[in-house]
């Protein structure tokens, strides 16, 4: 059974189809206008079913001007519209990549995921 990696892959695919930007889970690949998936908090688990909270950060190009913020919030709206996800909170942040500060909006995306008992 693949639970956490299966849930991550499912979320990554869902976010890619939303068109909210290039999706990555690797902080080394962060760049303006991408979406970063961070490791989840496990809320409950029974071996093959888990309720997970994934931090999903929508990053924008600096500086955090009104235009940049509006663009970033528009991409966050695309994630909010994804019906399989429950977005339980959102908060503005800044990601530092090298010497560059990227404005970000981090959404906590909650969903329940069941692993395939065959391991697929």
Per DSSP, 18 falls in state: H
Q: Which two tokens stand for residue 74?
A: 């528009």
pLDDT at 2 over 90: no
Inter-residue contact 113 to 50 (CB < 8 Å): yes
Asked if pLDDT for residue 1 goes beyond 70, the answer is: no
d(CA 89, CA 108): 5
What does the alpha-carbon distance between residue 47 and residue 33 come to, in Å, rounded to a whole number?
Answer: 36
Residue with tokens 């977005």: 87
Q: Which two tokens stand for residue 36?
A: 């970063």
The domains of the chain, with CATH numbers, are 4-114 (3.30.2000)
Give the pLDDT confidence of 55-114 residue by residue, as tens digits: 999 999 988 899 999 999 999 999 999 988 999 999 999 988 888 899 999 999 999 999
Predicted pLDDT at 116: 79
Q: What is the pLDDT of residues 15-39, one digit of tens each?
A: 999 888 899 999 889 988 999 999 9
pLDDT at 47: 76
Instruction: Say which residue, 119 or 70, is predicted with more confidence.
Output: 70
pLDDT band at 120 (very low <50, low <70, confident <90, very high): low
- The answer to whether residue 119 scores a pLDDT higher than 70 is no
Which residues pair with residue 37 across a beta bridge?
56
pLDDT at 48: 84
């Amino acid at each position: 059974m693949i639970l956490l990696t299966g849930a991550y892959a499912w979320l990554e695919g869902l976010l890619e189809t939303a068109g909210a930007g290039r999706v990555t889970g690797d902080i080394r690949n962060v760049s303006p206008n991408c979406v970063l998936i961070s490791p989840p908090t496990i809320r409950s688990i029974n071996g093959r079913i888990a309720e997970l909270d994934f931090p999903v950060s929508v990053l924008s190009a600096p500086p955090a001007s009104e235009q940049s913020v509006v663009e970033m919030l528009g991409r966050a709206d695309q994630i909010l519209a994804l019906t399989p996800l429950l977005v339980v909170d959102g908060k503005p942040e800044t990601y530092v990549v090298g010497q560059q500060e990227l404005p970000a909006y981090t959404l906590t995306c909650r969903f329940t995921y069941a692993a395939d008992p065959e391991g697929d």
